């Protein structure tokens, strides 16, 4: 995607430095972060400087390549193994993270020396990022066929190019549909507590000049009941064998509402987010994040400074699950880069989707 006429990916590797867009500063400030070692790269995942399953997966892969590039000849295997553990421990829910780390680990298994490992690691990380971007574009092509001219679409969280290497998952079909000449309107859930919809999805849609409006999370049912939403498209951090889907907290509520009002509910899922070793959504580990994300808000004040302010009483605790699980029976279909499947068809197409 383009910012001020220049094409950007969300994350990339420059020498041994991992570079990425600093997402917490958006939409008020566009900045690139330079991450000079694995500890910094891991911290960027934990603190959500980068977020979104495919983007995290690419960061994990680049972090592994970074570890190999910075390793010492005497102990490089031990250092890379430690880096893999550090990166994999950053966030527990997104399957793409583990795929990215393991992809580079497998690529260097046969390396006889550090120099060979470095070449293999860099090539693997870049291949993974390229493949991820291409997969998201194909998701857009398949998903755009489901969007009719004039559709009003609800999305939750940010599953656009900022959540991926490029194109996005849930937003990719919208971009493809709009670029083909279809008129669409997007209802953008704010997506508390971190407001990725209000901050990031709206930022992306504005850049693409796609008509949209930010709505409070609690307003989705109001618009569904009035017949003003034609379809829902969301992303996913992990989709398991039976078709259950883990996505940003609040997704389950939107799926229940969509079912109640007969509105199609689609999940855009690159095959790298599929976890066939996990039988049902009950087996997915759900990340619990810091209570301050619920108890506080941050944004730009009247002086143009980005500040955090507390909105809850000082003595009130907060609970902050980052994801919830949407049961397969609430999902109309899953849009992958290899086609559109009903949830129950995932296990039937095991070999195709692996």
DSSP strands (E only) in 127-254? 152-155, 185-189, 212-215, 231-234, 238-240, 245-248
Structure token pair of residue 159: 């599953």
Structure token pair of residue 339: 């086609």
The Cα angle at residue 133 between residues 276 and 196, in degrees rounded to 5: 80
Cα→Cα distances 272→68, 95, 303, Å: 23, 7, 43
Work out the number of other CB atoms within 10 angstroms of the CB of residue 327: 18
Structure token pair of residue 212: 């949209």
Q: In b/e form, how buried is each residue of 232-266, taking b as 16+ CB within 10 angstroms?
A: bbbbbbbbbbbbbbbbbbbbbbbbebbbeeebebb
Q: What values do phi and psi take at 33, rounded to 5?
A: -100, 135
The residue from 166, 237, 244, 324 that is catalytic is 237
Nearest CA-CA partner of 235 in 316, 140, 301, 314: 140
Q: In b/e form, how buried is each residue of 279-308, taking b as 16+ CB within 10 angstroms?
A: eebeebebbebeeebbbbbeeeeeeeeeee
Contact predicate 202/188, CB 8 Å:
yes
The H or E element that residue 105 is part of is helix 95-107
Structure token pair of residue 249: 């907290």
For the question of residue 237 being annotated catalytic, the response is: yes
Instruction: List active site positions.
Output: 237
């Amino acid at each position: 995607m383009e910012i001020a006429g220049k094409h950007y990916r969300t994350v990339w590797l420059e020498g041994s430095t991992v570079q990425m867009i600093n997402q917490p500063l958006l939409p008020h400030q566009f900045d690139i972060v330079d991450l000079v070692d694995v500890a910094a790269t891991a911290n960027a995942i934990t603190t959500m400087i980068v977020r979104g399953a495919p983007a995290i997966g690419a960061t994990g892969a680049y972090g592994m390549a970074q570890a190999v590039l910075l390793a010492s000849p005497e102990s490089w295997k031990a250092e890379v193994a430690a880096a893999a553990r550090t990166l994999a421990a950053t966030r527990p829910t997104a399957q793409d993270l583990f795929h990215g780390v393991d992809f580079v680990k497998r690529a260097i298994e046969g390396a006889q020396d550090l120099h060979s490992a470095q070449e293999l690691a860099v090539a693997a990380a870049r291949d993974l990022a390229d493949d991820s971007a291409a997969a998201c574009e194909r998701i857009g092509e398949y998903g755009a066929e489901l969007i009719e001219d004039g559709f009003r679409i609800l999305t939750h969280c940010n599953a656009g190019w900022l959540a991926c290497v490029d194109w996005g998952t849930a937003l990719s079909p919208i971009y493809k549909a709009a670029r083909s000449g279809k008129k669409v309107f997007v209802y953008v859930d704010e997506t508390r507590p971190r407001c990725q919809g209000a901050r990031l999805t709206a930022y992306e849609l504005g850049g693409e000049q796609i008509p949209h409006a930010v709505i409070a999370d609690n307003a989705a049912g109001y618009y569904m009941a009035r017949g003003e939403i034609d379809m829902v498209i969301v992303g996913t951090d992990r989709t398991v064998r039976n078709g259950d889907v883990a996505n940003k907290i609040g997704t389950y509520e939107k799926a229940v509402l969509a079912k109640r009002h007969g509105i199609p509910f689609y999940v855009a899922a690159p095959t790298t987010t599929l976890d066939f070793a996990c039988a049902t959504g009950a087996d997915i580990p759900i990340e619990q994040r810091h209570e301050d994300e619920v108890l506080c808000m941050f944004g730009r004040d009247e002086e143009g400074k980005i500040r955090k302010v507390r909105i809850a009483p000082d003595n009130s605790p907060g609970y902050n699950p980052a994801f919830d699980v949407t049961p397969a029976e609430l999902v109309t279909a899953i849009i992958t880069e290899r086609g559109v499947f009903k949830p129950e068809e995932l296990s039937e197409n095991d070999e195709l989707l692996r």
